[in-house]
């Protein structure tokens, strides 16, 4: 898919850092996140574990927990991983680290090292993080590499492969999962969270930005109609990075794996990965929209 737009021009060499993303979280935000996580852990997750236990019963893979969107916080995910395998003094590689600010959340678990990899250029953000580490004399070593995941040297092995909001963007997903086998130690663990998937509301990370009813445009519109929709709604490069999570870049470069949940799980299995714990989050708004719209209901 080729998309050209005068106000949106992007090349891989462009630095796409979002340096307004402040590293230090305020006390109020930290307190809010902790209170929310307590509420989720002791009330919301227990309720949904019972209420939604059969929600995805037709799927042909094991699901440990079903939750509505954002029902399993980043902190809860990392804590769960630490329960499965202790992170302290271990080596982590993060695939698709982006700006890298989220890597700081791993520091509370005291890993030995973190290697962040991304195909895009985030040099300004990575420099900001390195300055933060030096200033605060943090012992965990964090290294950043701008490179295609498939070109990473296989000689070094890691205890953990971690990735957030990346797997849905990997066009060569099967090759990359095979690559992960080479990068991971024999007793290593891979953690990944990703979505929305391509066949869901906002699966292109773009269509639902202005109106939820347009959230399936990437599937329903004809190719030329979708190109026109993109040109009409895309922002300039700076705003796409700052306000829209770089969604315009993903669409312009067609960075989507376009796999179903079952296809992801099948790929893991083919490459000798098995699930220790699987959480599926669904979008209540999308569920209601599909049930109310006959066209969507027919297709989905």
- What is the reported pLDDT for 94? 98
Q: Is 242 within 8 Å of 20 (Cβ atoms)?
A: yes
Instruction: Give the pLDDT mean for 57-62.
Output: 91
- Per-residue pLDDT, averaged over 247-267, amounts to 95
ω before 8 within 30° of 0 (cis)?
A: no
pLDDT band at 4 (very low <50, low <70, confident <90, very high): very low
Among 27-31, 52-56, 261-265, 270-274, whose mean pLDDT is lowest? 27-31
pLDDT per residue as tens digits for the range 72-112: 888 889 999 999 999 999 999 999 999 999 999 999 999 99
pLDDT band at 268 (very low <50, low <70, confident <90, very high): very high
Over the stretch 217-228, which tens digit does the pLDDT of each residue have?
A: 999 999 999 999
Level-2 CATH architecture, domain 51-205+255-299: 3-Layer(aba) Sandwich (3.40)
Instruction: Flag whether pLDDT at 264 surpasses 90.
Output: yes
How far, in Å, CA of 91 to CA of 128, rounded? 22
Domain assignments of the chain as residue spans, ordered by start: 51-205+255-299
Confidence of residue 9 (pLDDT cuts 50, 70, 90): low
Whether pTM exceeds 0.95: no
CB 165 within 8 A of CB 171: no
Query: What is the structure's pLDDT at 25?
Result: 59
d(CA 41, CA 39): 6
Q: Average pLDDT for residues 20-41, to the nearest whole number?
A: 70
- C-beta separation of 188 from 92 below 8 A: no
């Amino acid at each position: 898919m080729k998309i050209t737009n005068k106000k949106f021009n992007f090349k891989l060499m462009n630095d796409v850092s979002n340096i307004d993303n402040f590293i230090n979280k305020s006390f109020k935000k930290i307190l809010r996140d902790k209170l929310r996580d307590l509420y989720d852990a002791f009330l919301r997750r227990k309720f949904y574990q019972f209420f939604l236990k059969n929600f995805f019963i037709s799927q042909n893979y094991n699901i440990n927990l079903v939750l509505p969107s954002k029902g399993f916080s980043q902190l809860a995910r990392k804590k769960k991983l630490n329960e499965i395998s202790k992170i302290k003094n271990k080596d982590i590689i993060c695939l698709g680290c982006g700006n890298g600010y989220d890597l700081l959340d791993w520091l509370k678990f005291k890993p030995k090292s973190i290697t962040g990899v991304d195909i895009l250029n985030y040099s300004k953000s990575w420099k900001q993080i390195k300055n933060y580490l030096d200033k605060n004399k943090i012992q965990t070593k964090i290294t950043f590499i701008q490179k295609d995941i498939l070109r990473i040297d296989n000689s070094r092995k890691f205890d953990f492969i971690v990735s957030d909001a990346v797997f849905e963007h990997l066009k060569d997903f099967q090759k990359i999962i095979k690559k992960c086998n080479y990068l991971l130690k024999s007793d290593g663990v891979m953690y990944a969270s990703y979505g929305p998937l391509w066949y869901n509301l906002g699966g292109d990370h773009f269509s639902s930005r202005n109106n939820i009813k347009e959230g399936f445009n990437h599937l329903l519109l004809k190719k030329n109609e979708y190109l026109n929709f993109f040109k009409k709604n895309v922002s300039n490069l700076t705003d796409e990075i700052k306000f829209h999570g770089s969604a315009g870049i993903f669409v312009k470069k067609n960075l989507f794996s376009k796999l179903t949940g079952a296809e992801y799980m099948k790929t893991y299995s083919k490459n000798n990965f098995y699930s220790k714990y699987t959480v599926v989050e669904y979008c209540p708004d999308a569920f209601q929209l599909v049930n109310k719209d006959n066209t969507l209901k027919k297709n989905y």
